[in-house]
Amino acid sequence: MNQPVSLLHAHPQLTLALDTAPGATFDSFHVDESTRLVLDSMRAFAGGGLDEVQIYLWGDMGTGKSHLLSAACQWFSHKGYRVAYMPGEMINHPGALEGMEYCDLLCIDDLQRLDHASEVDLFHCINRCRQMQSRLILAADRAPDRLGLALKDLETRLAWGLVCHTQPMGDEGLRQALRKEIENRSLQASDEVIGYVLRRFPRRMSALKSVVDTLDEVSLTEQRRITIPLVKSVFGEAERAALSENLR
């Protein structure tokens, strides 16, 4: 790996601060049997336990891809290495990928947003990263061969390393994860409340965390326990619909 140095000083194009998701760590990633393998692979990748310099994550929204990318960024950054995290739309800007091979870790999220005009730039960036032995993590909502790329050589490059399918947690995994989010805020909720929330809200951790954050604030302000009537009073049908739409 390259010598540790802050990318904030080394690359003026970096505009996304790493503290945009301070709670996104490997330890805070909720796991069950459907997600444990991906987390273990990411930990091994970060720790140098895999003979790979590239990972491609794909899966539906809400399956933890962005969390894992942010966790990897945090891990490398805390070790003092150069890190860049780029949302998919950013790589469509001319010159956005120039010099990124000098990062120790480059993460590109929401790759399904890649424009055809930017495919060649990404193709060359991947080649440069591999030549420099820079780590690369890419994430999208579909597998490389389903991105509809015009440049087929890029499709091959995206599948060069480990390709992992992130899957949604099962019912029990979601139940345990929701309870843990509640307990992490020193709150309490009955099994009935947990079940009600899981039935009435989008079954994605990003949505459920937003619900818990709101209930935490209301519970603290009004000094009320989290009950089904409280959830109903805080979230009407319109609020639930808006939450679901905003997190798509």
pTM score of the predicted model: 0.80
User: May I ask the CATH architecture of the domain 7-165?
Assistant: 3-Layer(aba) Sandwich (3.40)
Q: Decide if 109 contacts 139 (C-beta within 8 A).
A: yes
Q: Which residues of the chain have pLDDT under 50?
A: 2-22, 238, 242, 247-248
**Phi, psi values for residue 184, rounded to 5°:** -65, -20
**Phi, psi values for residue 139, rounded to 5°:** -140, 140
Instruction: Give the whole-angstrom CA distance, residue 220 versus residue 218.
Output: 5
Q: If you count them, how many residues does the chain have?
A: 248
What was the pLDDT predicted at 136? 97
- Closest by CA to 139, choosing from 78, 206, 63, is 63
- Domain ranges in the chain are 7-165, 171-246
What was the pLDDT predicted at 94? 93
